[in-house]
């Protein structure tokens, strides 16, 4: 008999963040749930009420014209999203949140199928607009926010320095600016948004393990993701939260205290990847979790 495994991300709030006593939330996401639409859940609320989860990742897709689909997997490169086309989805999302699933997140892929040039103002304006509409939809649908998946499935190397980019320092500054641009667009629609990411600064375990300088390792690797995350932090409003879901946690072993060591590294070692002006914000508005 084939077994199905439900992969769960825990929004683990740890004592060193000064918020001890908060209850962790279990958010369901797995291959079985990868493309679950709000309508699928809304039709089966009685069954979901029996599942010990606080929320789900939900995949939103809209067809603005016959044969043309936009949605969670192509949000960064889609034509401009129109709110009118998502109103039915907003109503379905509210139904999903009417029972025990009070902490739903809208899935968004943050590795575009076509790489966005960091100096392409029009492309990033459209991307920021779409993510702003996604944030609006999350709020209208009583979701907690967006689930960010930055894994490079299409292998477009969005967050890596590639030939044709400006030198690292220049491109990293642009990446940081784009992170702030998309965060401002989302925060304008949903100031209290939670962004649950499979990885924030836990993306490259090598940065947080050992004695090397994480910032030097990122620079040597041409890694632009930390700069982009710093942009998110630049524009993160006081009521918003980022959660590092650390998908690597699937392999952790409690006997080796790997959950605690990972949480410590995300809260402390990762600070080397955070600009000094953002460190207070990182300490108070970034939560740790695990897959």
User: What's the confidence (pLDDT) of residue 176?
Assistant: 98
pLDDT in tens, 237-285: 999 999 999 998 888 999 999 888 999 999 999 999 999 999 999 999 9
Q: How far apart are CA 149 and CA 137, in angstroms?
A: 18
The residue with tokens 């375990």 is 205
Q: How far apart are CA 22 and CA 178, in angstroms?
A: 33
For 35, the 3-state DSSP assignment is coil
Q: First-to-last CA distance in the chain?
A: 25
pLDDT in tens, 201-236: 999 989 998 888 999 999 999 999 999 999 999 999
Specify the higher pLDDT residue, 22 or 290: 290
The answer for residues whose C-beta is within 8 angstroms of residue 199's C-beta and 6 or more apart is 150, 151, 244, 245, 246, 247, 248
Q: Can you tell me the mean pLDDT for 127-149?
A: 98
The residue with tokens 């041409």 is 222
User: Helices 225-235 and 214-221 meet at what angle, rounded to 10?
Assistant: 120
Q: Name the region of 18 (left: φ>0; alpha: ψ -120 to 50; beta: rest).
A: left
Structural element, H or E, at residue 221: helix 214-221
Q: Can you tell me the mean pLDDT for 39-55?
A: 94
User: What's the confidence (pLDDT) of residue 7?
Assistant: 39
Burial 257-283 (b: 16+ CB within 10 A, else e): eebeebbbbbbebbbbbbbeebeebbe
pLDDT in tens, 15-28: 223 334 457 889 99
Binning pLDDT at 50, 70 and 90, where does residue 185 land?
Answer: very high
pLDDT in tens, 58-110: 999 998 888 889 999 999 999 999 999 999 999 999 999 999 999 999 999 99
User: What's the confidence (pLDDT) of residue 114?
Assistant: 96
């Amino acid at each position: 008999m084939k077994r199905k495994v439900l992969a769960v991300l825990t929004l683990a709030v740890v004592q060193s963040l000064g918020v001890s006593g908060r209850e962790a939330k279990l958010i369901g996401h797995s291959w079985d749930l990868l493309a679950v639409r709000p309508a699928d859940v809304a039709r089966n609320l009685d069954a979901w009420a029996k599942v010990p989860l606080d929320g789900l990742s939900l995949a939103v897709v809209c067809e603005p014209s016959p044969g043309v689909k936009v949605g969670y997997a192509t949000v960064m490169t889609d034509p401009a999203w129109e709110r009118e086309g998502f109103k039915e989805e907003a109503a379905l999302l509210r139904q999903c949140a009417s029972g025990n699933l009070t902490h739903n997140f809208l899935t968004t892929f943050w590795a575009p199928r076509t790489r966005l040039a960091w100096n392409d103002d029009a492309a990033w304006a459209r991307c920021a607009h779409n993510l702003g509409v996604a944030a609006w939809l999350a709020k209208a649908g009583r979701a907690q926010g967006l689930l960010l998946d930055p894994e490079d499935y299409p292998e477009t190397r969005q967050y890596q320095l590639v030939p044709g980019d400006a030198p690292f320092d220049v491109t990293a500054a642009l990446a940081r600016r784009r992170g702030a641009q998309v965060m401002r667009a989302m925060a304008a629609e949903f100031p209290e948004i939670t962004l649950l990411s499979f990885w924030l600064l836990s993306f490259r375990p090598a940065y947080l393990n050992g004695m090397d300088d994480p910032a030097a390792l990122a620079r040597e690797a041409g890694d632009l993701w930390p700069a982009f995350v710093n942009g998110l932090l630049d524009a993160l409003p006081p009521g918003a939260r980022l959660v590092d879901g650390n998908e690597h946690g699937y392999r952790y072993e409690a006997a080796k205290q790997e959950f605690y060591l990972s949480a410590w590294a995300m809260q402390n070692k990762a600070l080397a990847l955070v600009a000094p002006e953002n460190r207070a914000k990182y300490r108070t508005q970034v939560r740790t979790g695990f897959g």
